[in-house]
Structure 1
Amino acid sequence: MAIARGTFHPPADEPKVWFESLRSFAEVLNEDNQELLRLILEKQPQSLQELEAASGRRSSNLSRTLRTMEQYGLVELIKDKRSVRPVVKATDIRLDIRLHRSSAA
């Protein structure tokens, strides 16, 4: 909220991805999706079809998941004339949770 108010300016190395809730974090970065990110890093598929074959996930599920991850800045979907290549953008993910609010919040 402080960033939105303009009262806090994060340093350059501050995270650029923010989740609106712990639930959304857990849904996007569940075990299956973490494995998908590892698979992309290891195999470096050149298309969604290659990733579909390597992961065993259906293309509709895979596309939806990757689009969501792209919205959060976790992956980039690089489009060329014939295919879409997924690239992992975030390799280290840290979760910070504040359990209380300060009186200034």
Structure 2
Amino acid sequence: MKARIGIIPEKVLRQRLIEIAKGERKPQPDEPRVWFSSINAAGQALSNENISLLRLMDEEKPQTMTELAELSGRKLSNLSVTLKMLSSYGFVSLEKKGNTVHPKALFTDFEIIVDPSVGSVHRAA
């Protein structure tokens, strides 16, 4: 389960989203669906600890957040915040079942695409 994510400057991303909204640009099927404005931002979301958590979820398939907290050794409150963040990027689904939430890893591996405009040097004329 591999997700393709992209790194693109915020200004370029905003312009891209405006073009898509206006119908001037159509996203390609192989383009990343999740974009970060920097490698640092991607690194915070996809830390070693979070990737390990995703893989643990995929392997152990916990049925509840409490079960995942026990498996991972993390506090439930901390785990909840992390899973909500990972869910906001589409890396985790949090399915409500009665009074419980079933966490499911949707991706365990990541391919990072860096836009050519990242890190480019602009020189004054």
Give the TM interval when normalised to the shorter protein: 0.7 to 0.9
- Identify the residue that residue 72 of structure 1 maps to in structure 2: 89
Cα distance, 1:10 vs structure 2? 1.8
Aligned length: 102
**TM-score when normalising by structure 1:** 0.85
- Identify the residue that residue 31 of structure 1 maps to in structure 2: 48
- Mind listing any 5+ residue stretches in structure 2 that lack a counterpart? 1-12
Cα distance, 1:80 vs structure 2? 1.1
2:28 aligned with 1:11: yes
Pairwise mapping of residues 41-52 of structure 1 onto structure 2 (< 5 A)? 41-52=58-69
**TM-score when normalising by structure 2:** 0.73
Partner SS state of residue 96, structure 1:
strand
Of the structure 1 ranges 58-67 and 2-11, higher mean CA displacement relative to structure 2 is found in 2-11
Q: Which stretches of structure 1, 4 residues or longer, exceed 4 Å deviation after superposition?
A: none
Higher strand share: 2
CA distance in 2, matches of 1:56, 1:20: 31
| % identical aligned pairs | 37
Pick the aligned partner of 2:119 from 80, 91, 99. 99
Partner SS state of residue 12, structure 1:
coil
- Mind listing any 5+ residue stretches in structure 1 that lack a counterpart? none
- Structure with the greater alpha carbon radius of gyration: 2
Cα distance, 1:25 vs structure 2? 0.8
User: Match for 1:24: what amino acid?
Assistant: A
Asked if the contact 2:63–2:103 (Cα under 8 Å) also holds between the matched residues in 1, the reply is yes
